[in-house]
Amino acid sequence: MICKGPVSQSDLYVTLSMPTASIQTMKTKSIPNCNSPEWNETFHFRVNSHVKNILELNVYDEDLRRDDLCIRLFFDISTLILDKKETKVFITDEKAAPLSIVEVTIDKLPPEVGKNMLLTLRGAYNEDQVVSTSQKSNLMQTLRYFISKDVEPMIELQADGREAMTASPPPSPLSSASTSEVTFSFPAVKDTVSLQVNTVESSEEDMKVRLDFDIPAEEKAFLVKRREVVSHALQKILKLKSPLEPSKVPTMAVVCTGGGARAMTGMFGSLKGLQSLGFLDVISYITSLSGSTWTNAYLYNDPHWSEKDLDVAINLVKKELSKGTKTLFGPSRLRYYYSELRQKQKDGHPFSPIDMWGLIIENAIYGKNNEATLSDQQEAVSEGQNPLPIYTAVNMKRDAGGSMMAGEERTLNLRLVFFSWCEFTPYEVGFPKYGGFVPAEHFGSEYFLGHLIKKLPEIRVSFLLGLWSSVFSANLMLLWKHVTGAMPSWTSWLGEDVSSIETDDDDSTLDTLVLASNASTLSNFMHGRPMICKVFNFLRGFVLHNKYRESSTFNTLKETHLDAFPNRLTPMDRTLGLVDAGFEFNSAFPPVLRPHRHVDVVLSLSYSWDEDHLKILKKTQQYCAIRQLPFPNVDFSKFEGEPPREVYVFEDEKNPDAPIVVHFPLVNITFKDYKAPGVKRQGNKELKAGEVDVSTRSSPYVTSNLTYKADVFQKLVDLTCYNVSNNVDSIVSALERAMNRKGLAGKEK
């Protein structure tokens, strides 16, 4: 093994870690001046066989300045056989753990310590705690830590600003200790520190994280009420003699794209069109992404919004959005932003620069402070009177080598990134991929191993708006630069090379992976990472089951995919790094494609600026193929070279589980000649009203524009309203075919 090269001699050592078993990183001795060293050392890990345990081995070359990483290996120990000694040769050139509460009572301190000490249990919640050594402090001090019984913590002591000392391990694992006195010794301390450890186990009944891939009980109760509304709406639309059996009515969802103010404005028009046709009461879900979340957030402030004339809400937003950008950065507004950011920090939430963008969006669409929270929107669905809103984001995290990555594969700025979808409803927030959800009112609070450790005030919707539409923050930065003359710095997103050096035929085990040593020299993602919202991780402390790769929600077939590194996935992080779901693909399809929601018809409302009006559907099809989710099998090449359409309908007759998709792109085809379906425009004024540019760079609707003049706003509302109304037959036809699938074709009219 050569790290420096064939001429220079290396001083090599190996570190071993298994985060699912121990927080401690173990280390061999360093062998000087040898490029082919041999170590004969033994290390022990106590492991839980029900979780995915990956041994990480790092080979370093010791250096006076900084040790160089030569090789990094990831080895799945489930390939080993119990009680059988095995030799592994690596060719390098090519459910939830139970929570324990540990109370540490300190009754004897080193006499040479004059100031406060820092006692750390690495791997615990609240791992750093101060031990006061002042005369006024109690001699007997009790500190409380939360640990996993399956992961052995590492105990460190730091006094007088000196280097932290690691305690010698006790005879039995601390995590399995009962009420007893355990004495720890520190090599650099003349005396010992006596720690009396009292371990209290917490039951699964106390868990506040819902571990399940199904939808929650509250959503199921909502659907029962909503189906009653849908049944009567379908009777009216389809002119049926009697309502359909509520349990058999088709489930229709509206799926919206992002696009900043354009998406918000266009969505208002689309919903107005659906309302005029009576279809708002047929919809069970409305999912939104980026700019379209602004529309949902605004509407769901009113518990009965869909029962009222949408023109009222549209005119109020139009008035605010037409005020221009200067009002967003006036002195009073800047003071307000500063005050709210300070208050969020005082509440205990991590600060993220993107929080300010949420407040700017709040001012742009409401024109005033909005104190509403996500859980407040439960009132708007309490009787099934409105569709259930689902907001989306994706989680970004660091890749196996430490550079910034996220959960699903995509090339962005010459590097590979990954995303994991997170959904927000008035009931809960969570990751369908992991089957982990928390109540909406507790999102942002501190959790460990599924237990609510520290409850914080619920995050306001205004801050969530910044999170949900953070991809738009680049444009908000331009506005900020216009006012302040300064702009945050950006750097490239770079990845690292990963290769597989050992494989087997067992799908439940992972290949042994090696990371190239030059990866550590690559630049990290953005200095300030302004578009990332940091939130306490409610999955913290959980570990993956040893059969996790058998789940279709994980992509472990590629060794370059983050899912192939279980020790680097979301549950291992202290905080989440949530960003606009548009970084993945620009449509909020994933929530309605979950099998437990049984969506039959999807109205895809696109406000995307892509020249290819079917791009988001292609992305969705790829997403579904990876996860084995039902979706229409469409040959998109058939549409190449065709002129755009106002509506596309896709159905997979061979797969009845795939939803029927009715797709509305943002186009101006017949609207320029017709002011209403079947009503031609007359005179110059009406023809002028039909001139809505939604395709060129000179359009007022380009994503960089946050505000619109009143007439520009209204034109886009009218266009998207018309496009829906003009294609009502396509919606009705899709509903009828969905009913046929459910055996309702013979219902008398």
Catalytic residues: 290, 580
Under 8 Å CB-to-CB from 480, ≥6 apart: which residues? 329, 486, 487
Torsions phi, psi of 224, nearest 5?
Answer: -60, -45
Cβ-count burial of 551 within 10 angstroms (0-12 exposed, 13-18 middle, 19+ buried)?
A: middle
Torsions phi, psi of 487, nearest 5?
Answer: -145, 140
Cβ-count burial of 111 within 10 angstroms (0-12 exposed, 13-18 middle, 19+ buried)?
A: exposed
Nearest CA to 722 out of 661, 660, 688, 680 is that of 680
Strand 601-605 relative to strand 252-256: parallel, antiparallel, unpaired? parallel
Cβ 90 vs Cβ 512: under 8 Å: yes
Cβ-count burial of 408 within 10 angstroms (0-12 exposed, 13-18 middle, 19+ buried)?
A: buried
Torsions phi, psi of 210, nearest 5?
Answer: -85, 120
Cβ 145 vs Cβ 538: under 8 Å: no
CA geometry: angle at 511 spanning 506 and 513, to 5°?
175
Structure tokens at 144: 């409380």
Single-letter code of the amino acid located at 689: A
| Distances in whole angstroms, Cα of residue 36 to Cα of each of 5, 19, 32, 232 | 12, 28, 10, 78
Torsions phi, psi of 115, nearest 5?
Answer: -115, -175
Nearest CA to 387 out of 312, 465, 300, 316 is that of 300
| Distances in whole angstroms, Cα of residue 500 to Cα of each of 12, 72, 160 | 23, 12, 46
Torsion sign (Cα): 336, 339, 344, 345: positive
Nearest CA to 150 out of 20, 272, 263 is that of 20
Whole-angstrom Cα distance, residue 251 to residue 660? 11
Structure tokens at 318: 């139009």
DSSP 228: H
Cβ-count burial of 40 within 10 angstroms (0-12 exposed, 13-18 middle, 19+ buried)?
A: exposed
3-state DSSP helix/strand/coil percent for the chain, to nearest 5? Answer: 30, 25, 45
Cβ 77 vs Cβ 21: under 8 Å: no
Whole-angstrom Cα distance, residue 20 to residue 567? 8
Residue 271: its H or E element: helix 260-277
Whole-angstrom Cα distance, residue 608 to residue 591? 19
Single-letter code of the amino acid located at 462: S
Under 8 Å CB-to-CB from 712, ≥6 apart: which residues? 700, 701
